[in-house]
Each structure stands twice: as C-alpha cells, then as structure tokens.
C-alpha cells in the first residue's frame, strides 16, 4: 500500500482511560500508549456512577499530547465498555450522571420477569438476558428515576456520548447498541417489539453508525483549544471494546475461537451469522454484534475484576506488590486446590473479595483466609471457567477450531493459559499486545483507505501482532 497514517485509538475501560497513538506504515500497525489514567466508579448515596466529564477531559489531554508527537493525526475513534448509557433532553442537555451497571437496578428488574419472559427476550434479539443489560437498567430507571426517563429524548451509550462530546454528532454504534438487549442482531436494528414488551421508547435511539465511516470531524473549538490547526476525522469503529479486541485478534480466518480477558472475560467465537436456538440459550450464550457485521457469540464471564479486587485488598494488608509477585504467592501453594464458580452472584461486587471467595471455597471454616490457597484457587477456577465456556461455544457453533486465542490483560497469565491448553487439548495462542486499539485503528484504516477489504484488514492485523503459543501438556513454545 505504501501510504502511512497516524491514528488515535481512545480505549476507555472500567479501570483505565487510555489514549493510544497507532501508526500504520503501509504494511503493519504499531501502537504507543500516550496517556493512561485510572477510571473508577464514584458512589453517591445508593448508586455507583461514572465520571464522564473526567473521561472527556482526559481524552482531550491525550489528544493534545499525541498531536505533539506527530506531524498530523489522520483520524480518531473510541471504544469503551458496554451496557451503560446517558439520556439527553430535547435541548441536548445531559440528564444526570451515568449510572454504572454494577448497581442493583438491573438485577431487581430482571427478577420481576419470569424465566419464560426472559427467554422470549433472547429469541427476539439474540441477546441473553443478563442483569447488567441496558434494557433492565432502563426499566429500573423508569421506576426509580422517572424524571430522567420521562424527559429523555435521545439515548447515547458510553462511546456515543464521548463521540458526541468531541464531534457534536449523535449516533448509536452497532456493537455497543447490541449490549442493550433492545437490538435484533439479525436485522441490526432496534426491535420495536422488544421495546413495546418492556414499555420502553424505540424513539430514544439515533441513527446507527457504520464501521469505517465518518461520524464527523472533531469540533473546531476543541482543536483550537489544543492548538491543532488541521481537521481530525472521528471514525465509527467497533466501539464496544470487546468487538474491537475480537476484531484485533491476530488470525486471518473469518471465524475463530477466543477469550478476551479484561475486567470481564468474554469467551466466544467470531461467526458470520447469529446462532439463536435452544442450545445457545441453554448454554447461556449471547450474540453480540462485532466488527463490520460479524457476530461475536459470547459467554460473559468474570475476568480480571476478581484479581484486581484481591490485589487492592492484599496491598492494604501487606503493601505494594507487582502482579508477578502477587501471582507467585498462589503458585507456591502445594495443597489441594478447591475450584469455585467465578460467576457466583456473591462475587459480583462484594465489599471484600477475599472474604467472599474464602466463604465460597470453605463455607464451614471459621479460619481467616490464606492468601496462597486463595490465589491458587482463583487461577484454577479462572482456567476452568474459560474451558467450560469454550466447550459450550464449540458445541453451539458445531465447528472445530485449530487453536484458541487469548487476548487482553489476562493473556499475560501464563499459568492460566497453560491450564487451558492442557484441559482443552488445543494450543492456546496468547497475544499480550493491544488488540483493542489495533482493532480500533484497523477500522479507521477502512475509512482512510476505503478500498481495503475485510480480508485485507485481517491480514494487516495479523502481520502487526506477535503471539506466544502454549501447547497442550508440553509447555510453552515461541
């Protein structure tokens, strides 16, 4: 191709706000983290909120720093976590702060529906009923925050809010919108039937954006503030971070098996079409929209959230420790290693994670938790959750896969990768590089070089990333 580009991938997750400079040299993509800062929920009264204005300010600062490193930024795009949202009123004024999915509103509303009603929701949309889904939060808000839902005219998901802040253009991006459980993933449109059944307003939603298409240029007043004299196009990318990470997996095949392990572990397969049947429902799988119309058939499981909580708790007791040092505590344990359900409701957002897990593995014990046994149990249980999910996915797709790809922060845990390879009898290909930002920037390339095909984008992604393979039973190999 020959032409070079500089792109900004904003990657905002539950734990960090990052600005990443992605460079394309005509053959490969590389990335450099320009700015990375914590992102944390804020509890006010009975609810947890996200500080969207802090996220926006952080992104502007990241853009300013990135612009000083290159002659020109050719485009930008954003990906974030799913399900959370904000309303705008008729004057485009934000109504309140953004609620976090870790509140109990969604769980309370889901419990009000029968199992049959929840199953019907799955068949209408292809999305599994889950307490974190936007649909249940909206019902909870309608009940407990009626002033917001009654005055809300447009609903923007987290990345939609940020792109609106930056461009002034309101759209709903498709992969993010699928996490609401109000979109039919077959037609890729909002389901009026689903909205009617839940007594929600289908008119809340905006035009659905297309990947690789322009949303709008970053607002001139923002660029003037940052002393950037040229226009920067803001591109519609797969803005659910799972969708960008799955698109950014270094595999040239269209369909592949994966675990995207961050705060959550998304266990699944890239598919050409949704799979909406009794087997998928019974295996508790969901069909989210991925990049460029592909489907990510997923099992949503707890990921690094457990270890993030545990490390904070350990450091309060014993002082700062590296991640390697922290996990080494568990690997020194030589006794029987109990396995627990990492998705048990008691571990969703406990006041103290170590105590909650210890009660799960030793419900009759009155002893204080032992860090070595606890951490050994966490690694074994995480591997078991990956394997159980991957077996369910392969059963539902009916396909055989040559390997499983593990990406995200959790891919750095070699012990879990090896346990998965051994339990599955499949090579585990781990990529510890920035798959989400690579997927984000590859979608921007589709705008900058409109002639690129999906297959060509996959080849660029695969050429851009290095991997490590864990072979079953035989240990690690390059």
Q: What's the rounded Cα separation, in Å, for the pair 249 and 265?
A: 15
Cα–Cα distance, 319 to 326 (Å, whole number): 11
**Is residue 177 pLDDT above 80, yes or no?**
yes
Q: What is the DSSP letter of 211?
A: T
At residue 478, does pLDDT exceed 50?
A: no
Same fold? 5-235, 249-478 = yes
pTM equals 0.88
Nearest 5°: the CA angle 450, 294, 432 is 85
Is 476 a residue whose pLDDT tops 50?
Answer: no
For residues 269 and 246, what is the distance between their CA atoms, to the nearest angstrom? 9
Residue 304: pLDDT band (50, 70, 90) is confident
The per-residue pLDDT for 95 is 96
- What are residue 183's DSSP bridge partners? 190
Q: What is the structure's pLDDT at 368?
A: 82
Among candidate residues 179, 191, 169, 207, the one with its CA nearest the CA of residue 84: 179
| pLDDT tens readout for residues 56-87 | 999 999 999 999 999 999 999 999 999 999 99
Q: How confident is the model at residue 475 (pLDDT cuts 50, 70, 90)?
A: very low
Domain ranges of the chain: 5-235, 249-478
In degrees to the nearest 10, what's the CA dihedral of 122, 127, 128, 130? Answer: -120
Instruction: Label residue 162 by pLDDT band (50, 70, 90).
Output: very high
pLDDT band at 1 (very low <50, low <70, confident <90, very high): low
Distance CA 405, CA 18 (A): 24
Residue 414 CA from chain centroid, whole number: 21
Average pLDDT over every residue of 199-215: 97
- Over 50: is that where the pLDDT of 141 sits? yes
Please state, in angstroms and rounded to a whole number, the distance separating the CA atoms of residues 56 and 165: 7
Query: Residue 399 pLDDT > 80, yes or no?
Result: yes
- Provide the pLDDT confidence category of residue 240 given band limits of 50, 70 and 90: very high
Examine the pLDDT at 477 and tell me if it is beyond 70: no
Q: Which fold has domain 249-478?
A: Nucleotidyltransferase; domain 5 (3.30.420)
- Fold assignment, 5-235: Nucleotidyltransferase; domain 5 (3.30.420)
Q: How far is CA 228 from CA 18, 285, 288, 372, in A?
A: 20, 45, 37, 52
Query: What is the distance between the alpha carbons of residues 140 and 149, in angstroms, rounded to a whole number?
Result: 10
DSSP-assigned letter for residue 302: E
Q: Which residues contact 429 (CB under 8 A, 6 or more apart)?
A: 250, 251, 403, 404, 405, 406, 467, 468, 469, 470
What's the confidence (pLDDT) of residue 348?
Answer: 87
pLDDT tens digits along 377-395: 999 999 999 999 999 999 9
Task: Please say whether the dihedral angle defined by the alpha carbons of residues 282, 283, 288 and 292, taken in this order, is positive or negative.
Answer: negative
- 266-278 burial string, b = 16+ CB within 10 Å, else e? bbbbbbeebbbee
pLDDT the model gives residue 367: 78
Query: Average pLDDT in the 214-240 region?
Result: 98
Do 404 and 258 contact (CB within 8 A), yes or no?
A: yes
Residues β-bridged to residue 156: 86
Average pLDDT over residues 132-151: 96
DSSP letters along 401-465, please? -S-EEEESGGGG-HHHHHHHHHHHTS-EEEE-S-HHHHHHHHHHHHHHSTT--HHHHHHHHHHH-
| φ/ψ of residue 11, rounded to 5 | -125, 100
Q: How far apart are the first and last CA of the chain?
A: 29
Looking only at the bridges linking them, the beta strands covering 189-190 and 183-184 are: antiparallel
Q: Averaged over 196-216, what is the pLDDT?
A: 97
pLDDT at 453: 95
Contact assessment for residue 408 and residue 262, using Cβ atoms and an 8 Å cutoff = yes
On whether the CB atoms of residues 299 and 389 are closer than 8 A, the answer is yes
pLDDT digits (tens, 9 = 90+) for 122-134: 999 999 999 999 9
pLDDT at 264 over 90: no
Average of per-residue pLDDT values in the chain: 94
127: helix, strand or coil: coil
In sign, the C-alpha dihedral spanning 23, 29, 30, 35 is: positive
CA distance 386 to 311: 21
Helix H or strand E encompassing 117: helix 115-125
pLDDT score recorded for residue 474: 53
Mean pLDDT confidence for 357-372 = 87
């Amino acid at each position: 191709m020959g032409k070079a580009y500089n792109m900004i991938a904003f990657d905002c997750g539950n734990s960090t706000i990052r600005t990443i400079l992605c460079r394309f040299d005509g053959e490969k993509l590389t990335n450099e983290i320009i700015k990375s800062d914590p992102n944390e929920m804020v509890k006010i009264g009975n609810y947890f909120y996200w500080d969207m204005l802090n996220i926006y300010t952080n992104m502007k600062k990241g853009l300013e720093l990135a612009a000083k490193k290159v002659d020109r930024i050719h485009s930008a795009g954003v990906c974030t976590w799913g399900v959370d949202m904000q309303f705008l009123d008729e004057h485009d004024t934000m109504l309140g702060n953004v609620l976090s999915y870790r509140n109990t509103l969604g769980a309370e509303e889901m419990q009000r529906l029968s199992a049959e009603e929840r199953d019907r929701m799955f068949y209408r949309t292809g999305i599994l009923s889950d307490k974190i889904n936007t649909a249940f939060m909206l019902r909870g808000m309608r009940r407990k925050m009626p002033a917001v839902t009654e005055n809300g005219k447009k609903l923007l998901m987290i990345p939609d809010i940020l792109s609106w802040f930056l461009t002034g253009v309101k759209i709903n991006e498709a992969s993010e919108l699928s996490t609401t459980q109000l979109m039919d993933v077959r037609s890729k449109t909002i389901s009026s039937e689903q909205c009617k059944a839940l007594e929600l307003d289908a008119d809340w939603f905006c035009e659905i954006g297309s990947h690789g298409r322009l949303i709008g240029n970053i607002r001139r007043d923002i660029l003037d503030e940052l002393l950037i004299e040229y226009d920067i196009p803001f591109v519609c990318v797969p803005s659910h971070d799972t969708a960008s990470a799955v698109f950014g997996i270094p595999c040239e095949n269209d369909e592949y098996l994966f675990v995207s392990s961050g705060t959550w572990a998304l266990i699944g397969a890239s598919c050409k079409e949704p799979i909406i049947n009794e087997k998928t429902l019974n295996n508790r799988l969901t069909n989210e929209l991925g990049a460029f119309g592909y489907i990510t058939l997923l099992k949503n499981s707890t990921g690094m959230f457990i270890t993030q909580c545990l490390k904070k708790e350990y450091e309060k007791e014993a002082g700062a420790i590296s991640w390697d040092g922290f996990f080494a505590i568990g690997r020194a344990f030589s006794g029987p290693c109990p396995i627990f359900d990492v998705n048990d409701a008691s571990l969703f957002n406990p006041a103290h994670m170590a105590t909650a897990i210890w009660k799960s593995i030793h419900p009759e014990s009155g002893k204080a938790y032992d860090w070595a046994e606890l951490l050994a149990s966490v690694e074994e249980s995480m591997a078991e959750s990956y394997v159980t999910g991957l077996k369910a996915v392969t059963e539902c797709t009916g396909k055989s896969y040559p390997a499983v790809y593990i990406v995200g922060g959790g891919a750095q845990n070699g012990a879990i990768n090896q346990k998965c390879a051994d339990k599955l009898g499949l090579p585990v290909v781990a990529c510890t590089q920035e798959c989400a930002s690579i997927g984000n920037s590859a979608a921007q390339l589709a705008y900058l070089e409109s002639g690129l095909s999906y297959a060509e984008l996959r080849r660029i992604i695969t050429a851009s990333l290095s991997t490590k393979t864990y072979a079953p039973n035989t240990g690690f190999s390059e």
